[in-house]
Amino acid sequence: MSAANPDGRKWAVALTVIIPTFIEVMDTSVVNVSLPHIQGSLNAGVDEVTWVLTSYLVSNAVIIPITGWLASIFGRRNYLLFSIVMFTASSVLCGAAPSLKVLVLARVLQGLGGGGLQPLSQAILLETFPVREHGVAMAVFGMGVVFAPILGPVLGGFITDNWSWRWVFYINVPMGFLAVFMAMLTIHDPPYIRARAVRIDHWGLGLLTVGLGCLQVVLDKGQREDWFESHFIVTLTVIAVVALTTFIIVELRAAHPVVDLRVFRDSTFAAGNVIMFTGYFCLFGSIVLLPLYLQNLMGYTALWAGLVLGPGGLASLMIMPVAGMLMKRGVRPSRLLAVGLTLAAAALTLMSRFNLQVDFFTAAWPRIVQALGMGLFFVPLAAATYVNIPREHMGNATGIFNLLRNLGGSFGVAFSTTVLSQRSQWHQNMLVDRLTPFDKPYQMAVNKIMALTGGDPASFYDRKAALAAVYQETIRQAAMMAFNDTFWLFAWFTAALVPLTFVMRGPRKPAGVVMGH
C-alpha cells in the first residue's frame, strides 16, 4: 500500500482495520460486568471466574510484540485475515462454552487471535496514509482504541441484563465476518512484506511467552493474593524477571530476533515508549479509581458513574480529529503532546481535591479535562514516535509500542488498587488513634448522632449504634484521603513526562540508520 492511494481507498483501508481493532479492544473490558452472571451460570468460584479475564490478557500480551515477526513469516494480509477469523471463531466458542475450563481455553484462543490486530492496524494505517497525514491516521486509530474500553462495560452490562452473558461474545461474529470481507477487498501486502521462510528464534519466543505470561498473571492477581505475601505471586515474579531479562540479552545478540530491540537506538522512539507506558499507567489507574470513588463513597449507581465518565469519552472523540488536523497543518506533535500531558496532570490534581460533598458536575469536569488531555496525548505521540522508523520495520515497532501501552495500563491498575488499599489502612489507623472518649470532636459526633436518631444516652445499644456510625464515617474519611493521595501521585507522574516531550524533535537521520542493519 503506498502513500499515493486515492482518498476513497485510503479511508476504506482505515475502516477495514478499525472495525476488528475496536471489537478486540472492547473485549478487554466488555466481559468485566458479566463475571457474576458467568460465575453463577457455570458454577464457578470468585477466584476461578477471574481467569476469564486473566487468560485473555495473558495471551493478548504474548502475541502483541511478535506481530511484526509473524507478519514477516505469513505475510501481513494473510496474518490479518487469520487473526480476525481466529478471534471470531473463538468468540463463538466462548459463547457456547459448557464449562469454565472450555471458556478459559476459548478466551486464550481469542486473545491469541486478537493480540495482533492492534499493531497490525497501526502499521497498516501509517503506511496507507502519507507522512503528513500520520496525525489523521492516528486520530482514527485512537478514536477506536480510546472509546472501545469506555463503551465495553456499558454494552456488556446492557447485553447481560437484557439477553445473556453469552451474547457478549456472539456480537463479535457479524462484525468479524464484515471485517474479513473488507480485508479481502482492501488490504494488500507492500513489496517488502511477503510470506517467506524465516529462522525461528526459539529461545526468544519461549522466554517472551513465559516472561510476559507470568508478568500479566502477577499484575492481574497480585492485589487479590496480597502480593508478595503469596508464594504463588513470588514464584511467578521471579520467573518473569529472569525470563524477561534473559530475553533482552538473547534478542540483542540474535541474528534474527523475534522482537528487534535495536529499534530503541532511536531516542525519539525510546522516549515515545516511555511516555506511552507512563501515560497509560496514569490513565488506566485513574479510570479504575473514579468509578470506585463514585460508587463506594458517593453512593452513585453504576449508571450514574458511567454518566460521569461518558462525557470524557465524547471529549476524546471530539479532540482527536482536531489534533490530527493541527498536525497536518504543521503544528509540531511535541507541542500538542506537552499541552495534552499538562491538561491530564491538571485534571488529576483536581481529582486529588475531591471530597465527600462534591456534586455531579464537580466530579465530571476533571474527567472531561483529562479526556481532552489524553486526546492531545495519544494522537501526536503515536505519530511522532515512529518518525524515524523505516517502513519495513514498522510492524516490529508498532508491536513494541502497543505492548508497552497495554502493560502500562496493567501496571497502572495494579498500582492504583494497591496504593488505595494501603493508604486507606494508614489513614484509618491515624484517625482511629484519635477516636477516644476524651476527644471533644468524638464526643460531639456521638452526641449529635444520638440526638438525630432519638437514641437514649443511657441505653447501651443506642450508644453502640452511634459508635458504629462514627466508625463507618471514619472508614469513609480514610478512604477519601486514600483516593486523594493516589490521584495526587498520578498527577505528579503525568507532569513529570512533560520534559520528555522535548526529546521528540522529529526526523533527524536517514531511515536506514535507525535499526543498525
User: Do residue 402 and residue 302 come from a single domain?
Assistant: yes
Q: CA–CA separation, 96 vs 90, rounded Å?
A: 10
Percent of the chain at pLDDT > 70 equals: 80
Q: CA–CA separation, 1 vs 80, rounded Å?
A: 15
User: Do residue 247 and residue 394 come from a single domain?
Assistant: no
| Average pLDDT estimate for 247-252 | 86
CATH number, domain at 404? Answer: 1.20.1250.20
User: Do residue 275 and residue 177 come from a single domain?
Assistant: no
User: Do residue 493 and residue 449 come from a single domain?
Assistant: yes
| Average pLDDT estimate for 102-109 | 88
Q: If you ran DSSP here, which 8-state letter would residue 186 be given? A: H
User: Do residue 216 and residue 113 come from a single domain?
Assistant: no
Domain region containing 239:
204-257
Exposed, middle or buried by CB within 10 Å (0-12, 13-18, 19+), for 508?
exposed
User: Do residue 399 and residue 363 come from a single domain?
Assistant: yes
Q: Per the structure block, which three cell numbers stand in for 321?
A: 480529529
Phi, psi of 205 (to 5 degrees): -65, -45
The pLDDT tens digits for 455-481 are 656 555 565 666 666 667 778 888 899
Q: If you ran DSSP here, which 8-state letter would residue 17 be given? A: H
The number of distinct structural domains making up the chain is 3
pLDDT at 116: 82
7-16, 75-84, 196-205, 358-367: least confidently modelled range: 196-205
pLDDT of 22 higher than 60: yes
DSSP per-residue letters across 19-56: HHHHHHHHTTTTTGGGHHHHHHHTT--HHHHTHHHHHH
Q: Per the structure block, which three cell numbers stand in for 395?
A: 510492524
pLDDT at 460: 54
pLDDT of 60 higher than 90: no
22-31, 144-153, 212-221, 444-453: least confidently modelled range: 444-453
DSSP per-residue letters across 237-295: HHHHHHHHHHHHHHHHH-SS-SS-GGGGGSHHHHHHHHHHHHHHHHHHHHHHHHHHIII
Q: With bands split at pLDDT 50, 70 and 90, how would you rate the model's confidence at 208?
A: confident
Domain end call among 162, 179, 200: 200
Other C-beta atoms closer than 10 Å to the C-beta of 332 total: 16
User: Do residue 504 and residue 358 come from a single domain?
Assistant: yes
CA torsion sign for 394, 396, 400, 406 is positive
Give the CB-side neighbour count of residue 509, counting CA atoms within 13 A.
14
Q: CA–CA separation, 29 vs 6, rounded Å?
A: 36
pLDDT at 512: 44
User: Do residue 229 and residue 278 come from a single domain?
Assistant: no
- Per-residue H/E/C for 200-230: CCHHHHHHHHHHHHHHHHHHHHCCCCCHHHC
Distance of CA 261 to the CA centre of its chain: 23
User: Do residue 134 and residue 105 come from a single domain?
Assistant: yes
User: Do residue 510 and residue 486 come from a single domain?
Assistant: yes
User: Do residue 96 and residue 228 come from a single domain?
Assistant: no
| Average pLDDT estimate for 220-240 | 83
DSSP per-residue letters across 309-340: HHHHHHHHHHHHHHHHHHHHTT--HHHHHHHH
User: Do residue 80 and residue 124 come from a single domain?
Assistant: yes
